[in-house]
Chain A
Amino acid sequence: MKMASDFHAGDAFELVREADRYRPIYYAAVSGDFNPIHIDREFGQAAGFPDAILQGMCTMAWLADACTAYLGDPARVKRLRVRFSRPVVVGDVVTFRGRCVSVEGPVVRLEVEARNQRGEEVLKGAAAEGWVES
Protein backbone atom coordinates (compact mmCIF):
# COMPACT_ATOMS: atom_id res chain seq x y z
CA MET A 1 0.00 0.00 0.00
CA LYS A 2 1.14 3.54 -0.75
CA MET A 3 2.71 5.41 2.18
CA ALA A 4 2.71 9.15 2.92
CA SER A 5 5.91 9.65 0.90
CA ASP A 6 4.15 8.24 -2.18
CA PHE A 7 1.64 11.12 -2.32
CA HIS A 8 2.56 14.39 -4.03
CA ALA A 9 0.78 17.64 -4.77
CA GLY A 10 -0.07 17.60 -8.47
CA ASP A 11 -0.84 13.86 -8.64
CA ALA A 12 -3.86 13.24 -10.89
CA PHE A 13 -6.47 10.48 -10.94
CA GLU A 14 -9.59 9.73 -12.95
CA LEU A 15 -12.73 7.59 -12.73
CA VAL A 16 -15.66 7.17 -15.15
CA ARG A 17 -19.08 5.85 -14.09
CA GLU A 18 -22.37 5.47 -15.94
CA ALA A 19 -25.87 6.13 -14.60
CA ASP A 20 -27.40 3.22 -16.51
CA ARG A 21 -31.17 2.64 -16.41
CA TYR A 22 -31.01 0.35 -13.37
CA ARG A 23 -28.33 2.22 -11.37
CA PRO A 24 -30.74 4.40 -9.33
CA ILE A 25 -32.83 1.28 -8.55
CA TYR A 26 -29.81 -0.77 -7.46
CA TYR A 27 -28.56 2.21 -5.46
CA ALA A 28 -31.98 2.56 -3.84
CA ALA A 29 -31.81 -1.10 -2.82
CA VAL A 30 -28.43 -0.76 -1.10
CA SER A 31 -28.86 2.74 0.35
CA GLY A 32 -32.53 2.77 1.29
CA ASP A 33 -33.15 5.96 -0.73
CA PHE A 34 -36.31 5.06 -2.65
CA ASN A 35 -37.45 8.65 -3.28
CA PRO A 36 -39.66 8.25 -6.41
CA ILE A 37 -37.72 10.98 -8.22
CA HIS A 38 -34.89 8.41 -8.49
CA ILE A 39 -36.81 5.33 -9.58
CA ASP A 40 -39.87 6.59 -11.44
CA ARG A 41 -39.39 8.23 -14.84
CA GLU A 42 -42.79 9.94 -14.67
CA PHE A 43 -42.03 11.41 -11.27
CA GLY A 44 -38.66 12.66 -12.59
CA GLN A 45 -40.44 14.28 -15.50
CA ALA A 46 -43.07 15.83 -13.22
CA ALA A 47 -40.17 17.38 -11.28
CA GLY A 48 -38.90 18.93 -14.53
CA PHE A 49 -36.21 16.46 -15.64
CA PRO A 50 -36.02 14.36 -18.82
CA ASP A 51 -36.06 11.11 -16.81
CA ALA A 52 -35.44 9.76 -13.30
CA ILE A 53 -32.37 11.31 -11.71
CA LEU A 54 -29.61 9.46 -9.89
CA GLN A 55 -29.36 9.83 -6.11
CA GLY A 56 -26.83 12.57 -5.35
CA MET A 57 -25.37 10.21 -2.78
CA CYS A 58 -24.55 7.73 -5.56
CA THR A 59 -22.63 10.45 -7.42
CA MET A 60 -20.87 11.16 -4.12
CA ALA A 61 -20.13 7.43 -3.74
CA TRP A 62 -18.45 7.53 -7.16
CA LEU A 63 -16.41 10.54 -6.01
CA ALA A 64 -15.43 8.55 -2.91
CA ASP A 65 -14.45 5.55 -5.08
CA ALA A 66 -12.17 7.82 -7.14
CA CYS A 67 -10.51 9.12 -3.96
CA THR A 68 -10.32 5.62 -2.40
CA ALA A 69 -8.55 4.20 -5.48
CA TYR A 70 -6.00 7.01 -5.28
CA LEU A 71 -5.49 6.79 -1.49
CA GLY A 72 -5.40 2.96 -1.50
CA ASP A 73 -7.75 2.29 1.46
CA PRO A 74 -11.45 3.10 1.98
CA ALA A 75 -10.71 3.97 5.63
CA ARG A 76 -8.16 6.62 4.64
CA VAL A 77 -10.92 8.93 3.37
CA LYS A 78 -11.58 11.20 6.37
CA ARG A 79 -13.59 14.05 4.87
CA LEU A 80 -15.78 14.48 1.81
CA ARG A 81 -17.64 17.61 0.73
CA VAL A 82 -19.78 18.29 -2.36
CA ARG A 83 -22.43 20.55 -3.80
CA PHE A 84 -24.77 18.84 -6.25
CA SER A 85 -24.84 21.52 -8.93
CA ARG A 86 -26.67 19.61 -11.68
CA PRO A 87 -28.68 16.38 -11.50
CA VAL A 88 -27.22 13.23 -13.06
CA VAL A 89 -29.99 11.89 -15.29
CA VAL A 90 -30.42 8.23 -16.30
CA GLY A 91 -28.14 7.71 -19.31
CA ASP A 92 -25.48 10.17 -18.18
CA VAL A 93 -21.81 9.21 -17.99
CA VAL A 94 -19.80 11.07 -15.35
CA THR A 95 -16.04 11.59 -15.49
CA PHE A 96 -14.26 12.43 -12.23
CA ARG A 97 -10.88 14.12 -12.56
CA GLY A 98 -9.08 14.46 -9.25
CA ARG A 99 -5.92 16.21 -8.21
CA CYS A 100 -3.86 16.14 -5.05
CA VAL A 101 -3.56 19.79 -3.95
CA SER A 102 -1.39 19.35 -0.85
CA VAL A 103 0.34 16.83 1.40
CA GLU A 104 1.04 18.05 4.93
CA GLY A 105 2.22 15.31 7.27
CA PRO A 106 -0.43 12.59 7.11
CA VAL A 107 -3.08 14.86 5.54
CA VAL A 108 -3.62 14.56 1.78
CA ARG A 109 -6.03 17.13 0.31
CA LEU A 110 -7.84 16.34 -2.92
CA GLU A 111 -10.02 18.37 -5.29
CA VAL A 112 -12.18 16.68 -7.88
CA GLU A 113 -14.08 17.86 -10.93
CA ALA A 114 -17.10 15.83 -12.05
CA ARG A 115 -18.57 16.41 -15.50
CA ASN A 116 -21.24 14.65 -17.55
CA GLN A 117 -20.80 13.58 -21.19
CA ARG A 118 -21.70 17.13 -22.31
CA GLY A 119 -18.89 18.58 -20.20
CA GLU A 120 -21.30 20.10 -17.66
CA GLU A 121 -20.26 20.10 -14.02
CA VAL A 122 -22.47 17.88 -11.87
CA LEU A 123 -20.58 18.65 -8.65
CA LYS A 124 -19.08 21.90 -7.44
CA GLY A 125 -16.45 22.33 -4.77
CA ALA A 126 -15.92 18.58 -4.49
CA ALA A 127 -13.09 18.03 -2.03
CA ALA A 128 -11.73 15.22 0.07
CA GLU A 129 -9.18 14.79 2.80
CA GLY A 130 -7.23 11.59 3.26
CA TRP A 131 -5.12 10.54 6.25
CA VAL A 132 -2.18 8.32 5.34
CA GLU A 133 0.48 6.69 7.50
CA SER A 134 4.06 7.88 7.11
Chain B
Amino acid sequence: MPIDPRHVGRRYGPFRNTVCAEQIRAFAVAVSGGVPGYFGTAHGDPHPWSVDDEAARRSPHGALVAPPTFGVTFAMKPFALACSDPELGLDLIRLLHAEQEFEHGAPVRPGDELTTEGEIVEVRSRGPLDFLTVRTETVNGAGERVLVARWTAVIRG
Protein backbone atom coordinates (compact mmCIF):
# COMPACT_ATOMS: atom_id res chain seq x y z
CA MET B 1 0.00 0.00 0.00
CA PRO B 2 1.57 3.32 -1.04
CA ILE B 3 2.75 5.50 1.84
CA ASP B 4 0.58 8.58 2.28
CA PRO B 5 2.54 11.56 0.85
CA ARG B 6 1.20 13.77 3.63
CA HIS B 7 3.97 12.26 5.82
CA VAL B 8 6.63 14.06 3.76
CA GLY B 9 8.04 16.78 6.00
CA ARG B 10 7.52 14.78 9.19
CA ARG B 11 10.50 15.46 11.48
CA TYR B 12 12.35 13.47 14.14
CA GLY B 13 14.78 14.90 16.67
CA PRO B 14 16.93 16.70 17.55
CA PHE B 15 18.90 13.88 19.15
CA ARG B 16 22.15 14.42 21.02
CA ASN B 17 25.07 12.02 21.18
CA THR B 18 28.50 12.21 22.80
CA VAL B 19 31.13 10.19 20.94
CA CYS B 20 33.63 8.18 22.97
CA ALA B 21 36.87 6.48 21.98
CA GLU B 22 35.72 3.00 23.05
CA GLN B 23 32.64 3.26 20.86
CA ILE B 24 34.73 4.16 17.79
CA ARG B 25 37.16 1.33 18.56
CA ALA B 26 34.43 -1.27 19.14
CA PHE B 27 32.71 -0.27 15.90
CA ALA B 28 35.91 -0.53 13.83
CA VAL B 29 36.82 -3.88 15.40
CA ALA B 30 33.35 -5.42 14.96
CA VAL B 31 33.17 -4.36 11.31
CA SER B 32 36.64 -5.81 10.68
CA GLY B 33 35.69 -9.30 11.81
CA GLY B 34 36.63 -9.07 15.49
CA VAL B 35 34.75 -9.13 18.77
CA PRO B 36 33.73 -5.64 19.89
CA GLY B 37 35.48 -4.66 23.11
CA TYR B 38 38.45 -6.90 22.35
CA PHE B 39 40.86 -4.80 20.34
CA GLY B 40 43.26 -7.22 18.69
CA THR B 41 40.66 -9.78 17.68
CA ALA B 42 39.93 -8.19 14.28
CA HIS B 43 41.21 -10.30 11.42
CA GLY B 44 40.35 -7.70 8.83
CA ASP B 45 42.86 -4.97 9.76
CA PRO B 46 40.76 -2.00 10.84
CA HIS B 47 42.45 1.28 9.98
CA PRO B 48 44.90 1.96 12.87
CA TRP B 49 43.70 5.56 13.23
CA SER B 50 40.28 4.26 14.31
CA VAL B 51 41.54 1.73 16.89
CA ASP B 52 45.12 2.41 18.02
CA ASP B 53 45.49 5.46 20.31
CA GLU B 54 49.25 5.70 19.77
CA ALA B 55 49.05 5.51 15.96
CA ALA B 56 46.17 8.02 16.03
CA ARG B 57 48.19 10.43 18.18
CA ARG B 58 50.95 10.42 15.56
CA SER B 59 48.44 10.90 12.70
CA PRO B 60 47.45 14.27 11.21
CA HIS B 61 44.28 14.04 13.34
CA GLY B 62 46.09 13.69 16.68
CA ALA B 63 43.35 11.42 18.05
CA LEU B 64 41.13 8.54 16.94
CA VAL B 65 38.87 9.28 13.96
CA ALA B 66 35.63 7.42 13.34
CA PRO B 67 35.28 5.12 10.31
CA PRO B 68 33.16 6.61 7.49
CA THR B 69 29.94 4.75 8.34
CA PHE B 70 30.16 5.31 12.11
CA GLY B 71 27.31 7.77 11.51
CA VAL B 72 24.93 4.85 11.89
CA THR B 73 25.48 5.13 15.66
CA PHE B 74 24.21 8.71 15.93
CA ALA B 75 22.27 9.48 12.73
CA MET B 76 20.10 6.41 12.14
CA LYS B 77 17.58 7.17 14.86
CA PRO B 78 15.28 9.43 12.79
CA PHE B 79 15.20 6.75 10.07
CA ALA B 80 14.50 3.96 12.56
CA LEU B 81 11.75 6.03 14.20
CA ALA B 82 10.14 6.84 10.84
CA CYS B 83 10.15 3.15 9.86
CA SER B 84 8.41 2.19 13.10
CA ASP B 85 6.22 5.30 13.39
CA PRO B 86 2.63 4.18 14.13
CA GLU B 87 1.38 7.13 12.06
CA LEU B 88 2.99 5.52 8.98
CA GLY B 89 2.03 1.97 9.96
CA LEU B 90 4.72 0.25 7.86
CA ASP B 91 4.87 -3.56 7.86
CA LEU B 92 8.30 -4.13 9.43
CA ILE B 93 8.64 -7.74 8.32
CA ARG B 94 8.42 -6.54 4.70
CA LEU B 95 10.81 -3.65 5.24
CA LEU B 96 14.44 -3.66 4.06
CA HIS B 97 17.15 -1.05 3.81
CA ALA B 98 17.23 -0.18 0.10
CA GLU B 99 19.62 2.71 -0.46
CA GLN B 100 22.07 4.80 1.53
CA GLU B 101 24.07 7.95 0.90
CA PHE B 102 26.59 9.65 3.20
CA GLU B 103 28.17 13.04 2.67
CA HIS B 104 30.89 13.69 5.26
CA GLY B 105 32.05 17.01 6.63
CA ALA B 106 34.31 17.45 9.66
CA PRO B 107 35.80 14.18 10.99
CA VAL B 108 34.10 12.59 14.00
CA ARG B 109 36.37 12.23 17.06
CA PRO B 110 36.09 11.18 20.70
CA GLY B 111 34.43 13.87 22.79
CA ASP B 112 32.38 15.27 19.93
CA GLU B 113 28.93 16.41 21.00
CA LEU B 114 26.71 15.72 18.03
CA THR B 115 23.17 16.82 17.26
CA THR B 116 21.10 15.06 14.61
CA GLU B 117 17.79 16.00 13.07
CA GLY B 118 15.87 14.04 10.46
CA GLU B 119 12.96 14.54 8.11
CA ILE B 120 10.96 12.36 5.74
CA VAL B 121 11.86 13.88 2.38
CA GLU B 122 10.33 11.44 -0.09
CA VAL B 123 7.79 8.66 -0.45
CA ARG B 124 7.32 6.86 -3.76
CA SER B 125 6.10 3.58 -5.23
CA ARG B 126 7.34 1.37 -8.04
CA GLY B 127 5.06 -1.53 -8.83
CA PRO B 128 4.54 -3.48 -5.59
CA LEU B 129 7.42 -1.68 -3.87
CA ASP B 130 6.99 1.36 -1.63
CA PHE B 131 9.97 3.54 -0.75
CA LEU B 132 10.55 5.90 2.16
CA THR B 133 13.50 8.32 2.31
CA VAL B 134 14.66 10.14 5.44
CA ARG B 135 17.33 12.83 5.27
CA THR B 136 19.40 13.47 8.38
CA GLU B 137 21.84 16.21 9.18
CA THR B 138 24.35 16.08 12.02
CA VAL B 139 26.43 18.95 13.40
CA ASN B 140 29.15 18.90 16.07
CA GLY B 141 29.54 21.15 19.10
CA ALA B 142 31.51 23.69 17.05
CA GLY B 143 28.56 23.99 14.69
CA GLU B 144 30.40 22.20 11.87
CA ARG B 145 28.40 19.83 9.71
CA VAL B 146 29.78 16.30 10.12
CA LEU B 147 27.25 14.27 8.15
CA VAL B 148 24.34 14.57 5.77
CA ALA B 149 22.75 11.20 5.11
CA ARG B 150 19.85 9.88 3.04
CA TRP B 151 18.33 6.65 4.31
CA THR B 152 15.89 4.78 2.05
CA ALA B 153 13.74 1.82 3.06
CA VAL B 154 11.73 -0.40 0.74
CA ILE B 155 8.53 -2.11 1.81
CA ARG B 156 7.93 -5.18 -0.33
CA GLY B 157 4.27 -5.53 -1.30
Tell me the complex Cα distance, A61–B29, Å: 11
Would you call B141 an interface residue if the criterion is a C-beta within 8 Å of the partner chain's C-beta atoms?
no
> How many inter-chain contacts with C-beta < 8 Å in the A-B complex?
119
Q: Chain A 70-82, CB within 8 Å of chain B: the 1/0 string?
A: 0001110111111
> Contact check: which of B26, B44, B94 meets A47 at CB < 8 Å?
B94
The answer to whether residues A69 and B47 also contact, given A75-B65, A79-B103, A79-B104 and a CB cut-off of 8 A, is yes
Q: How many residues of A contact B (CB 8 A)?
A: 43
Task: Judge whether A62 and B100 touch: CB under 8 Å.
Answer: no
Give residues of chain A (24-49) contacting chain B, Cβ–Cβ below 8 Å. 26-27, 29-33, 35, 37, 43, 46-47
Known A-B contacts A17-B33, A32-B76; the reply to A87 vs B96 at CB < 8 A is: yes
Interface residue SS majority, chain B: mixed
Q: Give, as a whole number of angstroms, the nearest-CB distance from B30 to chain A.
A: 4
Please state if B69 and A56 are interface contacts (CB–CB under 8 Å). Answer: no
The answer to whether A57 and B97 have CB atoms under 8 Å apart is: yes
With a cutoff of 8 Å between Cβ atoms, the chain A residues found around residue B68 in the complex are 61, 64, 67-68, 74, 77, 80
In angstroms, how far is the closest chain B Cβ from the Cβ of A14? 13
A65 close to chain B: CB less than 8 A:
yes
Q: Does A30 contact B26, Cβ atoms closer than 8 Å?
A: yes
Set of chain A residues within 8 Å of B23, measured between Cβ atoms = 30
Pick the contact of B72 from A26, A32, A73 — CB < 8 Å?
A32
* Separation of A62 and B30 alpha carbons in the complex (Å): 11
A61 and B98 CA atoms in complex are apart in Å by: 15
Q: Is B35 an interface residue (CB 8 A)?
A: yes
Q: Which residues of A contact B98 (CB under 8 A)?
A: 83-84
Interface residues on B, range: 35 or more
Which residue of B has the minimal Cβ distance to A82? B100
Bound together, the chains give a CA A32 to CA B81 distance in angstroms of: 13
Given A58-B31, A87-B96: A65 touches B66 (CB 8 Å cut-off): no
Contact indicator B30/A33 (Cβ below 8 Å)? no
A116 close to B (CB within 8 Å): no
B:34-69 near A, CB below 8 Å: 35-36, 44-47, 49-50, 59-61, 65-69
Contact residues in B for A81 (Cβ distance below 8 Å): 99-102
Separation of A18 and B44 alpha carbons in the complex (Å): 10
Instruction: Please provide the 10 A-B residue pairs with the shortest distance between their CB atoms, ordered closest to farther.
Output: A56-B97, A77-B68, A64-B68, A75-B107, A26-B30, A61-B31, A30-B27, A61-B69, A30-B30, A80-B102
Kindly list 7 other residue pairs between chains A and B, CB separation below 8 angstroms, not including A57-B72, A65-B67, A74-B65.
A26-B30, A43-B93, A56-B100, A61-B31, A75-B107, A79-B103, A81-B101
